[in-house]
Chains A and B, each alone.
Chain A
Amino acid sequence: DQQVKQNSPSLSVQEGRISILNCDYTNSMFDYFLWYKKYPAEGPTFLISISSIKDKNEDGRFTVFLNKSAKHLSLHIVPSQPGDSAVYFCAASDRGGGSNYKLTFGKGTLLTVNP
């Protein structure tokens, strides 16, 4: 049972345009969400997070939006740069549910930003 879904395995955008990566979740107990970025031959690195008490969090070119009623979050990258080309993982945790803050990851979306 896949609790965190990234339905687009890949996404290709032009440099300077907006990249939108989507993530859906099924577990209504999830209350904290994160995005990680992974380059080939490197470990994932934390990018941005959002708590369920918010609907938006911004950090420079990266913004995460959360729609709790739809159980959907998205990562916006504006403007996209070639260096943003990587695999992006969506992750979620149930902080209040005694799950020891374990993360559940999606399968990832490969973003390619073309010059």
Chain B
Amino acid sequence: DVKVTQSSRYLVKRTGEKVFLECVQDMDHENMFWYRQDPGLGLRLIYFSYDVKMKEKGDIPEGYSVSREKKERFSLILESASTNQTSMYLCASSITRATNEKLFFGSGTQLSVL
């Protein structure tokens, strides 16, 4: 069964902290994505990666960075957390570039920045 695992379900951090959100997929998928979901705004793409050590900006990359050192792992980094980054963060993967649209999502990390 396809599995995308996000390391934390809930996370509470303070303003200015450096925050790491980890995501691991066990399906040998090429592509990995980070989205955030906010009420009334839907899902918005932060960053994505088509290969190890490769990254591309999504629609709202400001304030975030990513790391993909291994194929199965994609990390989202908030260099200095701010209250407007309080959100539900969803990691996703897809098999190849040609089937990019069929995403497999993790269960999400609800991040609160105080």
Binding site for B on A (CB under 8 A): 6, 9, 32, 34, 36, 41-46, 49, 89, 91, 93, 100-103, 105-108
The answer to whether B42 and A89 have CB atoms under 8 Å apart is: yes
User: Contact: B97 with A101, CB < 8 Å?
Assistant: yes
B76 within 8 A of A: no
Assess the A91–B92 pair: CB atoms within 8 A.
no
A-B contact count (CB 8 A): 60
* Residues of B that sit less than 8 Å from A by CB: 4, 9, 40-45, 48, 50, 56, 58, 90, 92, 97-98, 100-108
Q: Are A105 and B43 in contact (CB under 8 A)?
A: yes
* A100:B43 contact, CB within 8 angstroms: no
Q: Is the CB of B40 within 8 A of A107?
A: yes
Complex: A106 Cα to B43 Cα, angstroms: 7
If the complex has contacts A41-B107, A42-B107, are A100 and B42 also in contact, measured as CB distance less than 8 A? no
Q: Determine the distance from Cα of A35 to Cα of B56 in the docked complex, in whole angstroms.
A: 24
Complex-state Cα separation, A93 to B107, whole angstroms: 23
CB contact between A41 and one of B40, B41, B101, B108 (< 8 Å): that residue: B108
A103 close to B41 (CB less than 8 A): no
